[in-house]
Amino acid sequence: MKTLGLQLRFLIPLILILAGAAYLAVPVMDRLTLRWFARDLDMRGELVANALSESVAEAATDARGRKLQALFNRAVTDERLVALGLCSPTGQLLRSTDHFPKDMSCAQAADLANAKGANLHIEGGPVHVSVHPVNGEAGPVGDLVLMHDLSFIERRSQDTRRYLVILIAGLGAVIALVTLIVAQLSWRGWIAGTRALLHGEGLLRPNSPTFPELAPLAADLRERLREVEDEYKRLQGADADWTPHRLQTLLRTQMRGDQVIVVSNREPYLHERRGDRIEICRPASGLVTAVEPVMRACSGTWIAHGSGSADREAVDRHDHVALPPGQDEYQLRRLWLTPEQEQGYYYGFANEGLWPLCHVAHVRPVFRESDWEHYRQVNRLFADAVVAEARSEDPVVLVQDYHFALLPAMVRERLPRATILSFWHIPWPNPESFGICPWRSEILEGMLGSTIMGFHTQFHCKNFMETVDRYLEARIEHEHSTITFRGAQTFVEAYPISIEWPLPEQAKTWPSIGQCRSELAERLGIPRDHRIAVGVDRFDYTKGILERLHAVERMLEKYPEWQKRFTFVQVAAPSRSALEEYRLFQERITAQVARINARFGRPDAPVIRLLAQHHEHEEVTKLYRAADVCLVTSLHDGMNLVCKEFIAARDDERGVLILSRFAGAARELTEALIVNPYHVEETADALFHALNMPPAEQRERMASLRSTVHEFNVYRWAGRMLSDAARLRLRQRVSTRLQRHSGSGTIVPLNRRSRP
């Protein structure tokens, strides 16, 4: 009953076609049979005429015509032969039978006989007229006109018509029945096949031959199902924990296992030559801390500058090296720069130009034409490497940081279908500040080659959109957070970066808090009863190290009871030392530490310990665990991961975080003691407060901070970005499909990536 509609859809056209066929076939059939019969009658007439010929010739000699009349009367006793007549060779009707039409002349009879298919209607019904010559011994006797009955043909024709209609109706019924059965069976097959696909059978066994008739549909259906599933996972997973496994699942499902290529200046591991040994080192870089776990999860290719002294010795002939050492989870492709390129692109334009420009930390940006040239050159070099490493037309390219502002547009030119996610790890200033850059438009245009442009905070996104608005002819949709520039759309979003939350088995290997404290005290000669505060940074003027030292000094000055009970340990990894600004900064810090130590410390127990060298992660973790307070006083910072690492290390839920309000992290870590690092008094008071904070309050704050960092971990950072990318890729695919289906290309793509 449910399929009645479907069956009627087959039956009604079938019935109509058969009725039409019958309607057309019957008259054709009539004409045909009539023609056949006429031919038969002609032949029969020929026979009759031949048979009668002799007798007629003989009878014709009878002048009275009696013999001929008798012969004719005998002949018409044949039920088929209705009338007979004999015409003289001159066309005179000599003799005829009773039913021969009185008014018919021989000429008319001859015309009728010559006209094919023409019949004559006489009394008693239709007749077929044929004329046959009769020859006697003395020559032609005349023409014999025969009129055969046609009414039997009509009867036969009716019979034939009836049979034909019955045959067509019967045939129709059989065809309808077969069609219904086949349609019913096919329908069931389709339903079963589609159900199987919907239940995932086709997903697990995509080449299943069970329902070959569904093959054209199956691929589309599977794709749509995956999209629905991905969308569902995306929605369902919005609040769930982000883990490496979840990130891998996302990459496998929503990204279909597409290739992921990361581009950054800094490499995750450096091979350094120390005498005759090669050591592997991790650089002091927040970027590396964040991106490396993601890379491990997605097993992609990481392209970076090979800056270690033994880097060339460690790569294969394609400049690749598998990392992490011994685990081989992803590939690093090293690019080599000349000293001039490194100087111009990295030290010059990136770190003397863009770095101070974006941090607005009272150090003048320096813009040199030659630096800009190198910056462009190196961006092109890395873009070429991305294209060379791409295994498909649409890889997912994660572009890291201010070293590669031009690269997104360069890659887009060559791989228009790539999904380019750029993340700017440093702040983005307001349009006025950014406007002093001589190449502001080129930089913005380069960045807008990205599918997604990510910043740490909404504030930076807003600044970026306002900057684009100010300096480019672009359409900005604040509601959707998109910028449309030259026909291509870039989605601008905040993705707060974070760290990899330590696994429980990893945390189990950490020495206890007491052990960390006593080891540190012993190593640095810190009296056991001292409270310890730590700072961990690169030597960088944006980190507020100087302001921090002033705050420590002010605290000791203001609260002298702490002078003999407090030590501040500052770890500062040398950074960008080739730049004078950085060298001077390091010298200033060293001098300040000496001055404060001279003022408050004892020669055997200085109040500030400056450890001006790079520390490996394990050592830093021990330092965090040994500390009572951690000071992060950046003057401006995109996010800052030191504060998050400190929180992650404190599984005892103790320790106090003092955090600059100018670090992106301050927006998430509100349970920290938030300070303005420029306000020395405030920071000094916060330090005093931290040192006096009761354990219960410490626990309450730290527990909350820990749950934030645990949830907002680096997998969430990457996962959210990749989910958004997957959403945009899906839209792109749907748009392409719509275009393909429409054929006209008139549908406006949802996210057109190629430039006009």
> What percent of the chain is helix, strand and coil (3-state, nearest 5)?
55, 15, 30
CA distance 705 to 656: 10
Q: Are 750 and 480 in contact (CB under 8 A)?
A: no
Q: How far is the CB of 540 from ligand F6P (least distance, A)?
A: 8
Q: Which stretch binds ligand F6P (CB under 6 A): 210-218, 281-289, 329-337, 415-423?
A: 281-289
Q: Which stretch binds ligand F6P (CB under 6 A): 279-287, 296-304, 358-366, 716-724?
A: 279-287
Q: How far is the CB of 716 from ligand F6P (least distance, A)?
A: 18
Which of 286, 348, 395, 408 touches ligand F6P (CB under 6 A)?
A: 286
Is 271 or 554 the residue whose CB approaches ligand F6P more closely?
271
The Cβ of residue 735 has, within 10 Å, a number of other Cβ atoms equal to 16
Q: How far is the CB of 285 from ligand F6P (least distance, A)?
A: 4
Which tokens hold the place of 642?
Answer: 């030191």
Is 401 or 547 the residue whose CB approaches ligand F6P more closely?
401
Which tokens hold the place of 237?
Answer: 């997973």
Give which of 120, 129, 121, 165 is closest to 29, Cα–Cα. Answer: 165
According to the binding rule CB under 6 A, does residue 401 interact with ligand F6P? Answer: yes
Which of 285, 419, 482, 489 touches ligand F6P (CB under 6 A)?
A: 285
According to the binding rule CB under 6 A, does residue 643 interact with ligand F6P? Answer: no
Q: How far is the CB of 665 from ligand F6P (least distance, A)?
A: 12
Q: How far is the CB of 658 from ligand F6P (least distance, A)?
A: 20
According to the binding rule CB under 6 A, does residue 291 interact with ligand F6P? Answer: no
CA distance 41 to 495: 100
Which of 287, 453, 534, 674 touches ligand F6P (CB under 6 A)?
A: 287
Is 291 or 589 the residue whose CB approaches ligand F6P more closely?
291
Give which of 596, 622, 591 is closest to 523, Cα–Cα. Answer: 622
Q: Quickly list DSSP for 390-433.
A: -SSSS-EEEEESGGGSSHHHHHHHH-TT-EEEEE--S----HHH
Give which of 427, 676, 420, 677 is closest to 546, Cα–Cα. Answer: 677
Indicate the DSSP class of residue 676: -
Is 305 or 625 the residue whose CB approaches ligand F6P more closely?
305
CA distance 150 to 122: 11
Q: Are 321 and 334 in contact (CB under 8 A)?
A: yes
Q: How far is the CB of 638 from ligand F6P (least distance, A)?
A: 6
Q: Quickly list DSSP for 312-340.
A: HHHS-TTSEEEESTTT--EEEEEE---HH
Is 289 or 751 the residue whose CB approaches ligand F6P more closely?
289
In the chain, count H helices and then E strands: 25, 23
Is 172 or 638 the residue whose CB approaches ligand F6P more closely?
638
Please list the alpha-helical segments (H only) found in 448-486: 458-471
Which tokens hold the place of 499?
Answer: 């760290």
Is 567 or 634 the residue whose CB approaches ligand F6P more closely?
634
Is 285 or 723 the residue whose CB approaches ligand F6P more closely?
285
Size of the site for ligand F6P (CB under 6 A): 11
Angle between helices 458-471 and 440-447 (to 10 degrees): 120
Q: Which stretch binds ligand F6P (CB under 6 A): 62-70, 280-288, 448-456, 675-683?
A: 280-288
Q: How far is the CB of 403 from ligand F6P (least distance, A)?
A: 8
Q: How far is CA 500 from CA 248, 294, 427, 645, 647, in A?
A: 15, 9, 22, 9, 12
Q: How far is the CB of 426 from ligand F6P (least distance, A)?
A: 5
Q: How far is the CB of 538 from ligand F6P (least distance, A)?
A: 6
Q: How far is the CB of 356 from ligand F6P (least distance, A)?
A: 13
Q: Which stretch binds ligand F6P (CB under 6 A): 48-56, 282-290, 560-568, 705-713?
A: 282-290
Is 265 or 489 the residue whose CB approaches ligand F6P more closely?
265
Binding characters for ligand F6P, 108-137, by CB under 6 A (x = yes): ------------------------------
According to the binding rule CB under 6 A, does residue 267 interact with ligand F6P? Answer: no
According to the binding rule CB under 6 A, does residue 638 interact with ligand F6P? Answer: yes
**Helix H or strand E segment including 566:** strand 566-573
Which of 44, 376, 425, 609 touches ligand F6P (CB under 6 A)?
A: 425
Q: How far is the CB of 458 from ligand F6P (least distance, A)?
A: 18
Q: How far is the CB of 278 from ligand F6P (least distance, A)?
A: 21
Q: How far is the CB of 351 from ligand F6P (least distance, A)?
A: 6
Contacts (CB under 6 A) with ligand F6P, residues 206-265: 265
Give which of 415, 418, 373 is closest to 395, Cα–Cα. Answer: 418
Contacts (CB under 6 A) with ligand F6P, residues 535-594: 575-576
Q: Quickly list DSSP for 224-257.
A: HHHHHHHHHHHHHGGGSPP-HHHHHHHHHHTTTT
CA distance 325 to 735: 43
Give 12: exposed, middle or buried? Use CB within 10 Å, 0-12, 13-18, 19+: exposed
Is 45 or 427 the residue whose CB approaches ligand F6P more closely?
427
* Residue 753 backbone phi and psi in degrees, to 5: -100, -25
Is the bond preceding 324 in cis, omega lying within 30 degrees of 0?
yes
Which of 233, 266, 333, 548 touches ligand F6P (CB under 6 A)?
A: 266
According to the binding rule CB under 6 A, does residue 426 interact with ligand F6P? Answer: yes
**Helix H or strand E segment including 631:** strand 629-632
CA distance 476 to 469: 7
CA distance 719 to 724: 8
Is 82 or 536 the residue whose CB approaches ligand F6P more closely?
536
Q: Which residue is nearest to ligand F6P (CB)?
A: 287
Q: Which stretch binds ligand F6P (CB under 6 A): 153-161, 283-291, 485-493, 677-685?
A: 283-291
CA distance 615 to 609: 14
According to the binding rule CB under 6 A, does residue 482 interact with ligand F6P? Answer: no
Q: How far is the CB of 541 from ligand F6P (least distance, A)?
A: 13
Which tokens hold the place of 189?
Answer: 């097959």
Q: How far is the CB of 468 from ligand F6P (least distance, A)?
A: 21
Q: How far is the CB of 272 from ligand F6P (least distance, A)?
A: 15
Binding characters for ligand F6P, 45-84, by CB under 6 A (x = yes): ----------------------------------------
Query: Which residues neighbour 754 within 8 Å (Cβ) at sequence distance 6 or greater?
Result: 412, 416, 487, 488
Q: How far is the CB of 666 from ligand F6P (least distance, A)?
A: 16
Which tokens hold the place of 595?
Answer: 């001055």
- Sign of the alpha-carbon torsion through 299, 305, 308, 312: positive
Report the b/e string of 22-38 with b at 16+ CB within 10 A: beeebeebbeebbeebb
- The footprint of ligand F6P (CB under 6 A) covers 265-266, 285-287, 401, 425-426, 575-576, 638
